[in-house]
Amino acid sequence: MKRFALIGLPNTGKSTLFNRLTGMSQRVGNWPGLTIELSSARLLLGGHMVELVDLPGVNDLTGYSDDEAVVRDVLLASAFDGAVLVLNASQLDRQLPLALQVLASGLNCLVVLNMADEAKALGVSLDVERLSERLGAPVFLASARHMQGWPPLMAGLNRLANDGGPATRARLDAVPDTREAMAEAKRRLAGCWALPPVLPAGLTEKMDHWLMHPWLGLPLFFALMALLFNLTYQIGTPLQELAGAGLDWIKEQALTPLLAPLPEIVQSLALDGIWQGVSTVLTFAPILLVFFVLMAMVEDSGYLARAAYLTDAFMARLGLDGRGFVMQLMGFGCNVPAIMGTRVMRERKQRLLTMLVIPFSLCSARLQVVVFFAGLLFTPTQAPWVLMGLYLMSFAVAVFTAWVFKRRYAGGEAFLLEVPPYRLPGLSHLLSRAVGEVRAFLQLASSFILLGVVLVWLLTHVPAGEGKTLADALGSLLAPVLDPIGIRHELAAALLFGFIAKEILLGSLAVIYGVPEAGLGAALLQHLDWRSAMSFLIFTLIYVPCLSTVAAMYRESRSKAYTAMSVAWSVGLAWLLSFAFYQAGVQLWP
């Protein structure tokens, strides 16, 4: 089997091309640095099976960031039959130096000038044949997003696969440095690529006049996020209720009669344990789907790069930069890839500070808990604003953490951010992206939930003497810690398993109180007042997101002490904030 390397700068549409060629759903976004670990897929080209390896986006092969080191290590250690180099057709003046470096390494290259539609809209003049002659490699003008120029590109890929030359490793000692490559790129581009003297004023400039305004930019961003949360509830809640009703019908009409002949203890484990826990989580799939569709629209449009630009000055005061804000937003989906995304930062101390604040992002697993409690304690018109407030709280905690640790992890790396043009995401891409996020959430949740709810059922049903269960004994053990923040002993087991994965929390609560999803809210309100419920929610929001996040932090930091400090800080901060809220509530609203 042959092997091709897919190489390109950040935000050139490399992952879009990868998805088009392979049919995979590699995450695609409209900001730099999104490909954070290697992905590969097999496809048939020229009668040969070819493994296409998607490498992280890099600016040059002589840089110092972790992603650039990863690319160098892969090219040095692995033999490739060819390299597919992806460049932005409208930015060749600063992207061609990377192409010259890759060509100088001795790899058999094919060059894809992507985003042909944007280059045409900008009035870029381009002589592909002359550029191909000067580079000594086949060059194809295409648009992966719209599949323009696709037949010639596929023909070129088939020819590359049929090339009988041996697989080779890159000779990076022959690669010119960045300054030499830039000087050579100007010479080779002369007469075959040019931007118009004055770029046409387009929609991007008109929108940026308001969305990147120094005073109005941030208020408009928060207004847009508030609208997103409101739409999430308005569209997602009816779908959630429909899913809950369908799952209740399955339990009553199918599962209960089917399990009736079995012993009562088996029925309790299956219905009160496994089914109630799993179905409670499944009811949140529709609302998560709506949220991810809306969030994908914001991400893929190019707006988040502008949010990073707007917040860069503020983040710099905390020892971070605009990339830290982007990683926080990436953490909305899952904290793990956001932590891995810090590899684009060259300076270790800045990476450590950014990783320290990412776990406070409200990930999809905690989102279901927040959505549930917000809907439980507040009216449908109030709940979206509560959700917005909790997102702001997560940012506030992250800001406070960065401020506390900025001297310990002070960095000074210069930050250069590319602000891409606005792009209208396709509906099919939005849906596939959202379905992929929800599927990944459910796949991760399924194993944890199944194990978690069974263990919670055992804790709540196995006696521990004196009429108490193991859950009661655990609650009594943790009572000195949980009582001051208003969290009842029954919830100790849920919090404990929530450390493994937050996906287990609601399923655990359903098992603890022995009720289906539809009745969980009423059961909680019978046992918790609003102060205790909000204290539980604040603690869940801030303390350790999950074991996977802790593992990713240790893997990226390579420090047990740093990882332990991060866990201790988040748990301690969660307890202090829950304590302050609960005790203030008791004193002010007895």
Backbone phi, then psi, for 174, in 5-degree steps? Answer: -95, 0
Angle at 367 between CA 235 and CA 493, to 5 degrees: 135
Helix axes 530-542, 560-588, angle to 10 degrees: 160
Which position has the higher pLDDT, 95 or 305? 95
Which position has the higher pLDDT, 479 or 288? 479
Residue 27 confidence (pLDDT) = 55
Residue 387 pLDDT class (50, 70, 90 cuts): confident
Q: Is the pTM above the cut of 0.75?
A: no
Residue 416 has pLDDT above 80, yes or no: no
| Exposed e or buried b per residue across 395-415, where buried means at least 16 C-beta atoms within 10 angstroms of its C-beta | bebbbebbeebbeebebeeeb
What percent of the chain is modeled with pLDDT above 70?
Answer: 93
Residue 253 confidence (pLDDT) = 92
Element housing 460 (H / E): helix 427-461
- In three-state secondary structure terms, 91 is coil
DSSP 462: S
Q: How far is the C-alpha of 270 from the C-alpha of 461, rounded, in Å?
A: 13
Residue 368 confidence (pLDDT) = 82
251-255, 336-340, 571-575: least confident range: 336-340
> Averaged over 43-61, what is the pLDDT?
90
What percent of the chain is modeled with pLDDT above 90?
Answer: 35
> Averaged over 303-329, what is the pLDDT?
81
Residue 80 confidence (pLDDT) = 95
Residue 48 has pLDDT above 80, yes or no: yes
Q: How far is the C-alpha of 135 from the C-alpha of 440, rounded, in Å?
A: 42
Per-residue model confidence as pLDDT tens digits over 135-192: 999 999 999 988 999 999 999 999 999 987 889 999 999 999 989 999 999 899 999 9
Across the chain, mean pLDDT equals: 85
Q: How far is the C-alpha of 230 from the C-alpha of 391, rounded, in Å?
A: 13
125-129, 323-327, 370-374: least confident range: 323-327
Residue 26 has pLDDT above 70, yes or no: no
377-391, 446-460, 489-503, 564-578: least confident range: 446-460
Residues 6+ apart with CB under 8 A from 517: 244, 247, 248, 276, 279, 280, 283, 506, 510
Q: Where would I find the beta strands (DSSP E) of 122-169?
A: 125-126, 139-141
68-72, 227-231, 238-242, 441-445: least confident range: 441-445
* Highest mean predicted confidence (pLDDT) among 63-72, 204-213, 303-312, 453-462: 204-213
Residue 31 pLDDT class (50, 70, 90 cuts): very low
Q: Tell me the sheet residues that pair with 113.
A: 87, 141
Going by C-alpha positions, the residue among 159, 142, 136 that lies closest to residue 81 is 159
